[in-house]
C-alpha cells in the first residue's frame, strides 16, 4: 500500500481496512491537497484535505500498558505540567 500527494510518497505508520495513519510532510504547500492511496489489485482512492499552518495534535501514548493522551503544542513540542497548553483565543 502507498499514499502520495502529487508525486510525493508519504510515510505510513499504520494501515487497516478502516484507517490509515500517515505523515504529512512539513514542507507541503499550504492550501487544498489531494492524497491518493494505492493498494495492489484495488482501485486507487483519493481524498481532499487542506494543509494549514498550525494544527494542534492529540495522539495516544502507551506507558507501562496504560494509555495516555499525547498532546502537542503547535510547534510539535509536548504539553507538560511545566509547559501547559495556552488558553484558547475565543
Q: Compute CA 8 distance to the chain's CA centroid, rounded to the nearest angstrom.
A: 16
Residue 33, pLDDT score:
95
pLDDT at 4: 94
Give the Cα separation of 8 and 25 in Å (integer).
9
Residues 10-16: what's their mean pLDDT?
Answer: 90
Q: Which of 77, 78, 33 is nearest to 52 (CA)?
A: 33
- Cα–Cα dist 48/33, whole Å: 6
| 19-77 residue pLDDT tens | 888 888 888 999 999 999 999 999 999 999 998 877 666 677 777 888 877 777 877 78
**Res. 88: pLDDT tops 80:** no
pLDDT confidence of residue 56? 65
Residue pair 38/2 in contact (Cβ under 8 Å)? The answer is yes
User: What pLDDT is recorded for position 90?
Assistant: 57
How many CA atoms lie less than 13 Å away from 84 in the CB half-sphere? 4
Higher pLDDT, residue 31 or 87: 31
Amino acid at each position: 500500500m502507498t499514499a502520495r500527494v502529487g508525486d510525493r510518497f508519504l510515510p505510513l505508520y499504520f494501515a487497516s481496512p478502516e484507517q490509515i495513519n500517515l505523515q504529512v510532510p512539513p514542507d507541503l504547500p499550504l492550501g487544498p491537497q489531494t492524497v491518493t492511496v494505492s493498494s495492489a489489485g484495488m482501485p486507487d482512492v483519493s481524498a481532499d484535505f487542506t494543509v494549514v499552518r498550525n494544527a494542534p495534535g492529540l495522539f495516544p501514548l502507551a506507558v507501562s500498558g496504560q494509555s495516555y493522551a499525547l498532546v502537542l503544542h503547535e510547534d510539535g513540542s509536548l504539553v507538560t505540567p511545566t509547559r501547559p497548553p495556552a488558553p484558547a483565543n475565543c
